[in-house]
Amino acid sequence: MANEKNYMYKSWWKILSVILLVYTVIAGLLFKIPQLPALEETIRNLYFHVCMWFAMMILFTISVVNAIRYLRTLNHKYDIYSRQFAVVGIVFGLLGYATGAIWMSYTWADPNNPAFESFGALAREPKLIGAAIALLIYAAYLVLRDSIADMDKRARISAVYNIFAFAMLFPSIWIVPRLLPSLHPGQEGNPAMNYKDIDAGMRIVFYPAVIGWTLLGVWITTLKIRLNLLKEKKMMG
């Protein structure tokens, strides 16, 4: 497998990822931002918190593509790809959740200010519930996988489940949260992609940040894939 020189073994995109991330940190903390009430400097979290979700969605998409490739070819390589992309996607989702929790604690809620919502009301945010459902469905993917001992059966069932999990992303994070009233931005259209809801000065940091964080996620995933390919090869012979 090592002589098969695909993108996993190239280094240019890893270097690109590092450059973009360093740029994100420096430009993200220094560049001009629009002055908004309540948000103030925390809008800079857009370059970190939102990027986690973008990276998660892209990793899940790569995962489902590889699940379909597995079902079409029954090549175990794609099963390994699919699983590892899903795992790293979950990690990015959890990071997005954690950073969102910190951000909302200081912008949506303020125990000293009666004008703000209580934490109980915040827990009913449709976006939070939707994201939690999506992540739990993906967590179930891992549980399902590891409960099946037979390799072929495991690969096939989990590939089918992966497609279901990806399909559930649509209602849980893209449709239902946008139909319900919410404090979370991005109610109308695609959050951070809409030309109306993001300042032009922030775009020049935000888009490179999305690419940088996603490439970092892909890099981590390829390392896990390479390890598992090696493990499988050792087991086979």
Partner 1 sequence: MQKIRNLISLFILLLTTIIVQAQEGTAKTGFGETMRSSGRIYVVIAVILTILIGLILYLVRLDKKMSKMEKENP
Binding site for partner 1 (CB under 8 A): 1-3, 9, 14, 18, 21-22, 25-26, 29-30, 219-220, 223, 226-227, 230, 233-234
Residues ≥6 apart with Cβ < 8 Å to 201: 31, 32, 33, 34
Cβ 196 to partner 1 shortest distance, Å: 29
Q: Which is nearer to partner 1, 179 or 230 (CB)?
A: 230
Nearest residue (CB) to partner 1, 18 versus 183:
18
Q: How far is the CB of 174 from partner 1 (least distance, A)?
A: 30
Closest CA to 59 of 220, 167, 214: 214
Q: Which is nearer to partner 1, 31 or 164 (CB)?
A: 31
Residue nearer to partner 1 on the CB measure, 30 or 74: 30
Rounded Cα–Cα distance for residues 155 and 145 (Å): 8
Distances (CA, A) of 118 to 125, 172, 184: 12, 24, 15
> E-assigned strands of the chain?
none
Q: How far is the CB of 26 from partner 1 (least distance, A)?
A: 6
Least distance between partner 1 and beta carbon 93 (Å): 19
37 versus 237: smaller Cβ distance to partner 1:
237
Name the residue with tokens 């099963």.
79
Amino acid, single-letter form, for residue 209? A
Contact 126, 182 (CB under 8 A): yes
Provide, rounded to whole angstroms, the least separation between the CB of residue 16 and partner 1: 12
